[in-house]
Amino acid sequence: MHRFPFRFCPSCGAEGIDLLRGHEFRCPACGFVYFHNVAAAVGAIIIHGESLLCLVRANEPARGKVGLPGGFVDPGESAEEALRRECLEETGLEISGIALVGGYPNLYEFAGVPYLTCDFFFTAAVAPGSALDISGFPAVRLDLSEALEARWTRIEALDFGAVAFPSMRRALRDWKTSLG
């Protein structure tokens, strides 16, 4: 397990929390136990013809790297609901035809906290009737707080070295391999 920001017990305030099994924290003074379990996240491989939608990340981690629309699953949400919400928030696109590619482990460090995640990637199409831009691609309304740029990238031109996260690279490779 990577560095963790707990130095004092959140229950009794004693210093020196023990780390057990890589994700279980136990206070030797009061017995408080905290499990830093895996967080669920989603990513969308949005396909239009022979292209997929890639975003250039605006934030750390991996600012400037290529990402996909997606994010963390909120409490009470299904993975598919989170995927629809994240796509709409980040790109303005409504999606349909969602199909699971797979789930992949990842480490996502944010604000000094390492989050162990299981990232679920799905393929999706833009919902029928969506507006098109002058190039004939679905019109993206980019949330600039999330992404610097949106690019429709031909599948065979995808640069795996520029992809933000190992889980995302694995999912894109698996998906591309499944195409034949």
What pLDDT, in 10s, does the model give residues 70-112? 999 999 999 999 999 999 999 999 999 999 999 999 999 888 7
* Residues 71 and 17 placed together within one structural domain of the fold: no
Chain centroid to Cα 65, Å, comes to 13
Does residue 135 share a domain with residue 111? yes
Of the candidates 105, 103, 119, the residue with the CA atom closest to the CA atom of residue 22: 105
- In DSSP notation, 1-63 reads ----S--B-TTT--B-PEEETTTEEE-TTT--EEE-PPEEEEEEEEEETTEEEEEEE-SSSST
For residue 90, the domain's CATH number is 3.90.79.10
Q: What pLDDT shows up at residue 109?
A: 87
Give the number of domains in the chain.
Answer: 2
Nearest to 70 by CA among 94, 49, 45, 52: 45
What are the residues facing 34 on neighbouring strands? 25
Domain span holding position 6: 1-37
Q: Are 96 and 112 in a shared domain? A: yes
The answer to whether residues 132 and 122 belong to one domain is yes
E strand or H helix at 64: none
Same domain, yes or no: 46 and 115: yes
Joined together, the tokens standing for residue 135 give 């190039």
pLDDT on residue 3: 56
Amino acid identity at 122: F
Looking at the fold, whether 6 and 30 belong to one and the same domain comes out as yes
Same-domain pairing of 69 and 142: yes
For each of the chain's 180 residues, which pLDDT tens digit applies?
445 667 889 999 999 888 888 788 899 999 999 988 899 999 999 999 999 999 999 999 999 999 999 999 999 999 999 999 999 999 999 999 999 999 999 999 888 778 889 999 999 999 999 998 989 999 999 999 999 999 999 999 999 999 999 999 999 999 999 998
On whether both 50 and 33 belong to a single domain, the answer is no
Distance separating alpha carbons of residues 99 and 121, to the nearest angstrom: 9
Considering the domain architecture, whether residues 22 and 72 belong to the same structural domain is answered as no
Q: Do 11 and 65 have their domain in common?
A: no
Residues 124 and 43 in one domain: yes
Same structural domain for residues 25 and 113? no
The pLDDT score that the predictor gives to residue 1 is: 42
Cα–Cα dist 34/17, whole Å:
10
